[in-house]
Amino acid sequence: MRRVISYISFALFLFGIFSFLYILLSLGWYEYKSELPITDIQGIVEKNERIYIGLGFYNRIQVYDMDGSFLYFIKVNNHTKQFDFWCNGQKVGCF
């Protein structure tokens, strides 16, 4: 019986650590700098030899070249809500 309780305690401990890390990551304290999976697309714009793809779930616009290679991302403060964006010359905006 004591062994079962220690296993349950350890499992709860691990669950607490992973939950805490998930909360830290979801609050934006850590910014993932690489390409993220393309999901929840908010729009696609092609301008100035660049492809801009808005990703609502990740709060960002990912930028690709015409060959499909990931270049960089632009942070959007929409808190996982839907958004529209536009490209005007070199500037990318969101509303």
Res 76: pLDDT: 82
DSSP for residue 35: -
When pLDDT is cut at 50, 70 and 90, the band that residue 22 belongs to is: confident
Check if the beta carbon of residue 57 is closer than 8 Å to that of residue 81. Answer: no
Res 14: pLDDT: 93
Domain limits for position 84: 34-95
Cα-flanking dihedrals φ and ψ of residue 61, to 5°? -115, 120
Claim to verify: residue 49 and residue 91 sit in the same structural domain: yes
Res 74: pLDDT: 87
Claim to verify: residue 62 and residue 94 sit in the same structural domain: yes
- Written as six digits, the tokens of 40 are 């929840």
Claim to verify: residue 58 and residue 92 sit in the same structural domain: yes
The structural domain count of the chain equals 2
Question: Does residue 60 surpass a pLDDT of 70?
Answer: yes
Claim to verify: residue 93 and residue 48 sit in the same structural domain: yes
Claim to verify: residue 20 and residue 43 sit in the same structural domain: no
- Written as six digits, the tokens of 45 are 């714009």
pTM assigned to the model: 0.61
Q: What is the mean pLDDT of the chain?
A: 82
Res 90: pLDDT: 55
When pLDDT is cut at 50, 70 and 90, the band that residue 86 belongs to is: confident
Claim to verify: residue 67 and residue 42 sit in the same structural domain: yes
Write out pLDDT tens, residues 39-52.
Answer: 888 888 888 888 99
CATH of the domain at 48: 2.40.10
Claim to verify: residue 38 and residue 71 sit in the same structural domain: yes
When pLDDT is cut at 50, 70 and 90, the band that residue 12 belongs to is: very high
Claim to verify: residue 49 and residue 61 sit in the same structural domain: yes
Claim to verify: residue 66 and residue 94 sit in the same structural domain: yes
